[in-house]
Amino acid sequence: MEEKQMSNGSSGRNITLPHTADSPLAVAFPPDITAFEFAAAEDLCGSIEDISGIRPLRVCDGKLPDGAAGILIGRTGLPESDAAYAELDSCGDVLWRLEGRRLAVASVTGYPFVSAVSRIVRSMSYDGGAGAVMIDAGIDGSRDRLPGCLGSVPSPVGLKLSAYRQSHDGCDQLVFTGATRELFAAYRAKLEEYGFGVRYTADIRGNLFARYTKAGVSAYVYYTPYNSTLRLLAEPARNMHGISRSRGTEAAVNVRPLMTVIGARFSETSRYLNRDSGAGNMGYVFRLTDGRFIVVDGGMELGDYAEKILAAMKEQCGGGKPVVACWFLSHTHIDHTGAFLKIAAKYPDEVEIEEVACNFPSLSDAEASREAWNTRRVKEAVYHVFPNAGYSKLHTGELLRFPGAEVEVLYTQDDLVSQYFSILNDGYTWNTSSVCIRVHIGGSTVLLPADCDEVACGIMLSMYGDYLKSDILQVCHHGGWGGTTPFYTAVDPEVAIFSTSDALLPMYLQIRYNHDLVYGMHVREVHNNADRCRTFELPYHPSETRLPPDPAGEILYTKAKQLEALAAIENIRAEKKKAEAEK
């Protein structure tokens, strides 16, 4: 049967995309192409060549000759793409739209582009007589919606998608640039139009945060003016703080809040910078006014970190079974999750855990950094060993309330994601995925940046400035890598807590930012946990100045890496001397 050509470029059953020497068939994609768009464009061009022998013209400058046929992937800048995007409803929509001889494929995230192009290819054929690629006309106007939370969340208007990242726990992050307070407010209004109810809002130094929920879906959105960025995190509502299956009536008690810093020895042979490094690590236990506890990280499986945490809680709750209201895990490194894992493996009946809170990157990110195993172990412990515990995914700007305490989330790995950067590139280390929290308890503020490095510190400084001011500071990354003088200047603590061995502390104090912190600001007391535990009654303010000797006569180093280089030189010299002695 002869096909009748339709005015929109399609026949009764096929879309006809002609190719001539003067007007070649084109595949268009954006100039700032994402990996999703690039993979889709490559697959499409290759498939067209395989089917027809035609090598399509690749266009990324938003320009096509009048009348030229093409398939347009993403925000190409061409009017046909703009029209398709105007019809998108949710962040999870995928749309195929034909206008003239151009088939546009639109998706907010870009993630579905490869599968969207596969659908085109499956219906594609070649008419050699007409010199045209043929596509099933049924695809025109069709629409798919991604499963999960993205399909329930409306798409922002007037903003450019800069990055899309699949995070852990069913959470999808979309990063939009060119944001303003007005556009943030407009998107909040759009969420409400779509039936989302507001659960939380905050304004922290001009950074705006809001959480909305609807039918099991949470949309957490925040605006940071320093980089004109709006971040949208769509996830299951079960990820929210406080969704616990075990929390019952709180005990009617009112005890003094305490902070216990946990130290232990995990090795007699571990060496760093040619010195003993087998003690330290980060572990904090806070006693709440109702007798329950908040635990932050905890230390390694090796040594007796877990036993010391349990002993401290049992002593402070009167010898009964301690209840952990929330166990915060900053990141998956085993020197931060090990004590939790050991308690799950050996002592699960000796403690009740009501909630575990963290923000781990995606499993693909974790696998690339060899952290997938630790991520899996933590999740298995939560779901199988403590099945009644809630599990919450922390987001920047959240405020978690407990009896006599509040916990602010000041930084997560969400803040790192931008168009070309994530935890996987630009030399970032897994430490950059650390969550930074600040605990307000008993009249004291305790800032806990875990292993945050200079990148994370820079982001927090840009967002908050002197809002970071705190009474007590856990020095970044045990006191070694991480931290900056400007960041510590903004925090300006009275007490600085290091988490390393006593042998390494003097070396760390020779690093410029640590020296500036301890001897150039207003620190009155330095505590190094090493293999010791110490309990602070809160509020805590040092009654006198207690600082370690100032290594002012020594050379100060810009970064810990310089000390590593010197240690390597020492090793080379020692080996050379040993070899000469053996001759």
**DSSP-derived secondary structure for 469-527:** --SEEE-GGGGSS---HHHHHHH--SEEEE-S-TTTHHHHTTBHHHHHHHHHSS--EEE
Q: Give residue 561's pLDDT band: very low, low, confident or very high (50, 70, 90).
A: confident
Q: Is the pLDDT of residue 371 over 60?
A: yes
Using one digit for the tens of pLDDT, what is the confidence trace for 139-171?
999 999 887 899 999 999 888 888 888 888 999
Maximum mean pLDDT: which of 122-136, 158-172, 459-473, 504-518? 459-473
CA–CA–CA angle 275, 280, 285 (5° rounding) = 175
pLDDT in tens, 61-105: 888 888 899 999 999 999 999 999 999 989 989 999 999 999 999
pLDDT at 423: 66
Instruction: Give the pLDDT score at 337.
Output: 97
pLDDT for 559 equals 74
Residue labelled with tokens 């890598």? 481
Residues 135-154, buried b or exposed e (16+ Cβ, 10 A)?
bbbebbeeebbbebbbbbbb
For residue 120, give the nearest of 107, 104, 132 by alpha carbon. 104
Mean pLDDT over 235-258 rounds to 73
Query: Averaged over 484-512, what is the pLDDT?
Result: 96
Assess whether pLDDT exceeds 80 at residue 542: yes
Fold of 14-145: Chitobiase; domain 2 (3.30.379)
**CA angle, corner 128, sides to 125 and 130, nearest 5?**
100
Mean pLDDT, rounded, of the chain: 90
Lowest mean pLDDT among 241-250, 264-273, 375-384: 241-250
Provide the pLDDT confidence category of residue 460 given band limits of 50, 70 and 90: very high
CA distance 332 to 71: 43
Report the chain's C-alpha Rg in angstroms: 28
Same CATH topology for 156-239 and 258-567?
no
Enter the tokens of residue 207: 């950074």
Question: Is it the case that residue 408 has pLDDT exceeding 80?
Answer: yes
* C-alpha 147 chain-centroid distance: 22
Range in 139-143, 281-285, 457-461 the model is least confident about: 139-143
Confidence at residue 85, expressed as pLDDT on a 0 to 100 scale: 93
CATH number given to 258-567? 3.60.15.10
Confidence of residue 252 (pLDDT cuts 50, 70, 90): low
What's the pLDDT score for residue 247?
A: 44
Contacts of 270 (CB under 8 A, 6+ apart): 276, 277, 278
Angle made by CA atoms 351, 352, 356, in degrees to the nearest 5? 110
Q: Where along the chain do its domains lie?
A: 14-145, 156-239, 258-567
* 217/149 Cα distance (integer angstroms): 6
Nearest to 99 by CA among 215, 30, 8: 8
Average pLDDT over residues 481-498: 96
Least confident segment among 94-108, 141-155, 486-500, 560-574: 560-574
Give me the pLDDT at residue 420, please. Answer: 65
Please report how many Cα atoms fall inside a 13 Å half-sphere around the Cα of residue 345, on the Cβ side: 12
Is residue 402 within 8 A of residue 257, CB to CB? The reply is: no
- Return the higher-pLDDT residue of 161 and 446: 446
**Cα angle 517-396-438, degrees, rounded to a multiple of 5:** 40
How far, in Å, are 31, 38, 42 from residue 60 at the CA level? 5, 11, 13
| pLDDT reading at 249 higher than 70 | no
User: How many whole angstroms separate alpha carbon 394 and alpha carbon 407?
Assistant: 11
Q: Which amino acid is at 12?
A: G
Q: What is the pLDDT of residues 307-335, one digit of tens each?
A: 999 999 999 998 789 999 999 999 999 99
Task: Name which of 71, 125, 138 is nearest 101 in CA terms.
Answer: 71
294: left (phi over 0), alpha (psi -120 to 50) or beta: beta
The predicted pLDDT at position 109 comes to 86
Give the SS3 label for residue 381.
helix
Q: pLDDT exceeding 70 applies to what percent of the chain?
A: 94
Residue 427 above 80 pLDDT?
no
> Which runs of consecutive H residues, i.e. helices, occur in 123-241?
181-193
Domain 156-239 has CATH 3.30.160: yes
CB count within 10 Å of CB 10 equals 23
DSSP at 443 = T
Yes or no: say if 435 and 331 are a contact pair by the CB < 8 Å rule: yes
Taking residues 42-56, what's their average pLDDT?
Answer: 94
Task: Identify which of 579, 503, 575, 495 has the alpha carbon closest to the alpha carbon of residue 542.
Answer: 495
In three-state form (DSSP H/G/I as H, E/B as E, the rest C), the secondary structure along 210-262 is EEEEECCEEEEEEEEHHHCEEEEEEEEHHHCCCCCCCCCCCCCCCCCCEEEEC
Residue matched to tokens 């998956």: 332
pLDDT at 282 over 90: yes
- Provide the CB-side half-sphere exposure for 423 (13 A, CA): 28
Rounded to whole angstroms, the Cα distance separating 264 from 278 reads 9
Please tell me the predicted confidence (pLDDT) of residue 245.
Answer: 41
Dist CA 583 CA 562 (whole Å): 32
